A and B are shown apart, each in its own frame.
Chain A
Amino acid sequence: MPALTVLYALLFYVAAATLVGGVAWKSWVYARTPQPLKIPIPPAPTTRRGVVLRVLLEVTLFRALFRSNKWIWLFGWLFHVALLAVLLRHLRYFTEPVWAWVALIQPFGLYAGFAMLAGLAGLWARRVLVDRVRYISAPSDHLMLALLVAIAASGLAMKYVAQTDIVALKAFFLGLMAFDWKPLPADPALLVHLALVAALMFVFPVSKLLHAPGVFFSPSLNQVDDARERRHAAGWSAKIVHVNRARGG
């Protein structure tokens, strides 16, 4: 087995474990941390169903962001939807036979690659051109965009500039999943693309990408506005106990 294959195989095992383990651990921390008080933000639903709908609208349509700033919404939403399409398109490398709907969306996934780049370019332009956003940007915020742009660009390069052996590539990933390693094609664009994706997987649980699990745990979004109807208690507030007695009594 070529050293390169071994290297990338190990890289992806560790990256996948870091991503899944890190996000699971963080989610567990969020879940077990109590929220002692009710702090829903309007428009707060008064029922659990309403909350489910609210969070769903936030994560699919970015409703608050739409209200907030149309440009950020446009670029941000475009990027995320395109990323989703691209990820789904990549399922073909991990399934045999390829699921019918995955086969169906292949062309869309391709356009999505460009849409993703456009969204990222818009977001990055704002980070540089809008003085307020420039002020709040740390080097890591620029690097994150650079990483995503590089992943998208190297991916598109394999389609349009230097095609890689995708049959061998698929064999490599199916092999990884079955713990039956197959050689990885040694194309530079592919190696760059895969290394960057692994880097993203490593960074995910220790960066602002935690907004992905975080949004589901945000109390201001996922609490029901029913403080008067149901007594809420958690953490320190669960230790408050009242027995009925008059003052001094």
Chain B
Amino acid sequence: MAAFETPPLGEYPVIPPVREGTMAHSKPFVAKADHQNPLGFPGELVPGWEKVAVTKLGQLVQQSRALQVFLDSCVKCGACTDKCHYYLGTSDPKNMPVARQDLLRSVYRRYYTFAGKHFPALVGARDMTKEVLDDWYSYFHQCSQCRRCSVFCPYGIDTAEISMAARDIMDSVGLGQKYSNEIIGKVHKIGNNLGLPGPALRDTLDGLEEDVKEATGVDVRFPLDEKGADVLLITPSADFFAEPHIDGLIGYAKVFHAAGISWTLSTHASEAANFSLFIGSHDHLQKVAERIREAALELGTKRLVVGECGHAWRVAYSFWNTLIGPFDFLDARYPAPQHICEVTHDLIRRGALTLDKSANADKVVTFHDSCNVSRGSRMGSEPGGQFRIPREIIRACVDKFVDMAPETIGETTFCCGGGGGLLTDDLIELRVKGAAPRMQALQQVVEEHGVNYLAAICAICKSQFTKVLPYYKHPMDMIGSVHGLVSNAIVLGPKS
């Protein structure tokens, strides 16, 4: 991997001038046959792939009103051109959302529109060639599908939909991305992204029970596969594995303990993440989600709660009802999946938790809105709950909370730079550069308010920041779980 420079952060954010080709070299490792075949994708570029790709594109457009409308409607107004964190961090014009869309739109026009068939040069239509495919592989893996651009688009054109379609087409011709496809294979085979088998998971949870007992003197349980528990917790497997994720898991367990809610994890569905979203595969999206329905039915749980994971919450909130519903097997009082923040927030509001802010007295906290939570889901019953609820939880747990600049949070939040299947070391340059806009906003609150804790509710964000914070001269342990703060603050009374 070529050496690269971390983007310098000035006093104010600037829109960089276009510099063509600066990220043309950025490509993730290509999936080998071992990772492709189990998912039903060809192991290598198929003969006549050009035709296969064009046919697949036509099918996808026919199946999706979004694609149909988005590919036709763009007027090239330029509103999105300065909205993508990857453009802002790399200044490569193909990272401008409209230019990224055009990589696919140009092919769509060539084969499926009157103007593109007859006047290709006039409307920028292109044949499906190896050069185009290489561009696709490079730049559709420089999109974290965070949907920030679509908030600013007058037609709501969602680059994520186009990037997912492009990746779906590439998989269908045998050009898959190793990172995502290997992980999806593990979920199918073992049950989670990490490939953590059931006994290892039980060991981990036993260890956590001991740790919490040692730290608090209280027997907080981490149940696995317990039939008849009320709540089935579906959480990203990162929560079983590493800091700062694991503090979040401890936080969930303490909340359930304090509220007296019986809960369980499932070996069969020991993963909230669903990377099939990133590669645009409906089949895998549904199959991976199906495990959750199966686990809930098998364990007889009455509620579904999802842990801190951004895209998992998008899938759970926006797609589960479609993919694995109807949820007629759940308790009528909780007829839909809930976010762990909704559960904790509700308990706080009802006074069911005792929280001691002094446990977090050393922290000045800011909150990073994760893209999929912000722009692909909601929490609570009111619009904007996904922004308000986590902040109210944080404020209940800490004294000092400040928000970053308004245009960098809420529904216009900047992606961490590692979402959408890009959280892999072979894309580290992209990840560091793509984090620049978030780091810019963070830098400001660090300087003005002494912020020393960046809270998030997404496993990808947490892993990404752990990796990239040091590039921007911040300590890697500055990033933490929202439920890590809850875990610190919660007061567990002795069981009577």
B28 interfacial by beta-carbon distance below 8 Å = no
Q: Are B147 and A240 in contact (CB under 8 A)?
A: no
Task: Provide the bound-state CA to CA distance between A45 and B378, in Å.
Answer: 11
Contacts of B4 in A (CB 8 A): none
Asked whether A135 and B317 contact (CB < 8 A) given A215-B155, A218-B73, the answer is no
Task: Provide the bound-state CA to CA distance between A37 and B70, in Å.
Answer: 15
Q: Are B383 and A44 in contact (CB under 8 A)?
A: yes
B226 interfacial by beta-carbon distance below 8 Å = no
Contacts of B153 in A (CB 8 A): 64, 68
Task: Provide the bound-state CA to CA distance between A69 and B156, in Å.
Answer: 15
Which of A15-55 touch B at CB < 8 Å? Answer: 26, 29-30, 33-39, 41-46
Q: Are A220 and B318 in contact (CB under 8 A)?
A: no
Q: Are B81 and A29 in contact (CB under 8 A)?
A: no
Q: Identify which of B256-264, B320-328, B360-368, B432-440 touches chain A.
A: B320-328
Residue in A29, A42, A225 whose beta carbon sits within 8 Å of that of B68 in the complex: A29
Contacts of A139 in B (CB 8 A): 121-124
Which of A191-217 touch B at CB < 8 Å? Answer: 206-208, 210-211, 214-215, 217
B114-141 interface bits toward A, Cβ cutoff 8 Å, 1 = contact, 0 = none: 1100010111100000000000000000
Task: Provide the bound-state CA to CA distance between A58 and B73, in Å.
Answer: 14
The minimal Cβ–Cβ distance linking A110 to chain B, given in whole angstroms, is 27
Q: Are B158 and A247 in contact (CB under 8 A)?
A: no
Residue in A39, A68, A136 whose beta carbon sits within 8 Å of that of B99 in the complex: A136
Q: Identify which of A99-107, A180-188, A226-234 touches chain B.
A: A226-234
Residue in A30, A76, A248 whose beta carbon sits within 8 Å of that of B69 in the complex: A30
Q: Are B336 and A229 in contact (CB under 8 A)?
A: yes
Task: Provide the bound-state CA to CA distance between A233 and B299, in Å.
Answer: 27
Task: Provide the bound-state CA to CA distance between A123 and B326, in Å.
Answer: 49
Q: Are A136 and B96 in contact (CB under 8 A)?
A: yes
The minimal Cβ–Cβ distance linking A64 to chain B, given in whole angstroms, is 5
Task: Provide the bound-state CA to CA distance between A208 and B124, in Å.
Answer: 12
The minimal Cβ–Cβ distance linking A80 to chain B, given in whole angstroms, is 10
A223-246 interface bits toward B, Cβ cutoff 8 Å, 1 = contact, 0 = none: 001011111110111001010111
Q: Are B76 and A42 in contact (CB under 8 A)?
A: no
Contacts of B41 in A (CB 8 A): none
A130 interfacial by beta-carbon distance below 8 Å = yes
Residue in A30, A34, A131, A141 whose beta carbon sits within 8 Å of that of B17 in the complex: A131
Contacts of A231 in B (CB 8 A): 321-322, 325-326
Q: Are B374 and A42 in contact (CB under 8 A)?
A: yes
The range of chain A's interface size is 35 or more
Task: Provide the bound-state CA to CA distance between A216 and B381, in Å.
Answer: 26
Asked whether A237 and B322 contact (CB < 8 A) given A30-B65, A133-B78, A140-B124, the answer is yes
Residue in B15, B161, B295 whose beta carbon sits within 8 Å of that of A39 in the complex: B161
Q: Are A41 and B158 in contact (CB under 8 A)?
A: yes
Question: B70 — nearest CB in chain A belongs to which residue?
Answer: A218
Q: Are A246 and B65 in contact (CB under 8 A)?
A: no
B143 interfacial by beta-carbon distance below 8 Å = no
Which of B456-482 touch A at CB < 8 Å? Answer: none
Q: Are B319 and A132 in contact (CB under 8 A)?
A: no
Which of A50-108 touch B at CB < 8 Å? Answer: 58, 62, 64-65, 67-69, 72, 76
A221 interfacial by beta-carbon distance below 8 Å = yes
Residue in A42, A217, A219 whose beta carbon sits within 8 Å of that of B151 in the complex: A42
A137 interfacial by beta-carbon distance below 8 Å = yes
Task: Provide the bound-state CA to CA distance between A35 and B376, in Å.
Answer: 16
Q: Are B154 and A219 in contact (CB under 8 A)?
A: no
Contacts of B151 in A (CB 8 A): 41-42, 64, 67
Asked whether A37 and B65 contact (CB < 8 A) given A68-B83, A208-B76, the answer is no
Task: Provide the bound-state CA to CA distance between A46 and B377, in Å.
Answer: 12
A143 interfacial by beta-carbon distance below 8 Å = yes
Task: Provide the bound-state CA to CA distance between A137 and B99, in Å.
Answer: 10
Question: A44 — nearest CB in chain B belongs to which residue?
Answer: B383
Task: Provide the bound-state CA to CA distance between A211 and B318, in Å.
Answer: 26
Which of A102-136 touch B at CB < 8 Å? Answer: 123, 126-127, 130-133, 135-136
B62 interfacial by beta-carbon distance below 8 Å = yes
Q: Are A138 and B124 in contact (CB under 8 A)?
A: yes
Which of B182-213 touch A at CB < 8 Å? Answer: none
Contacts of A246 in B (CB 8 A): 294, 297-298
Which of B213-237 touch A at CB < 8 Å? Answer: none
Question: A144 — nearest CB in chain B belongs to which residue?
Answer: B75
Task: Provide the bound-state CA to CA distance between A48 and B323, in Å.
Answer: 23
Q: Are A211 and B73 in contact (CB under 8 A)?
A: yes
Question: B73 — nearest CB in chain A belongs to which residue?
Answer: A214
Asked whether A132 and B322 contact (CB < 8 A) given A39-B161, A42-B411, A141-B76, the answer is no
B76-97 interface bits toward A, Cβ cutoff 8 Å, 1 = contact, 0 = none: 1111111100000000010010
Q: Are B18 and A244 in contact (CB under 8 A)?
A: no
Contacts of A67 in B (CB 8 A): 151-152
Q: Are A136 and B98 in contact (CB under 8 A)?
A: yes
B337 interfacial by beta-carbon distance below 8 Å = yes
Residue in B154, B323, B337 whose beta carbon sits within 8 Å of that of A237 in the complex: B323
Tell me the B residues contacting A by CB distance below 8 Å. Answer: 15, 17-18, 20, 61-66, 68-70, 72-83, 93, 96, 98-99, 102, 113-115, 119, 121-124, 147, 150-158, 161, 268, 282, 286, 293-295, 297-298, 317-319, 321-326, 328-329, 336-337, 374-376, 378, 381-384, 411
A/B interface sample: 30 pairs, CB < 8 A: A29-B68, A33-B63, A36-B322, A37-B322, A38-B319, A39-B376, A42-B384, A68-B79, A68-B80, A123-B77, A132-B78, A133-B77, A136-B93, A136-B98, A136-B102, A138-B122, A139-B124, A140-B124, A141-B75, A143-B122, A206-B113, A219-B69, A219-B156, A220-B156, A220-B157, A231-B321, A235-B63, A242-B326, A244-B328, A244-B329
Tell me the A residues contacting B by CB distance below 8 Å. Answer: 26, 29-30, 33-39, 41-46, 58, 62, 64-65, 67-69, 72, 76, 123, 126-127, 130-133, 135-141, 143, 206-208, 210-211, 214-215, 217-221, 225, 227-233, 235-237, 240, 242, 244-248
Please name the 4 residue pairs, one residue from A and one from B, whose CB atoms are nearest each other, closest first.
Answer: A214-B73, A220-B156, A138-B124, A68-B152
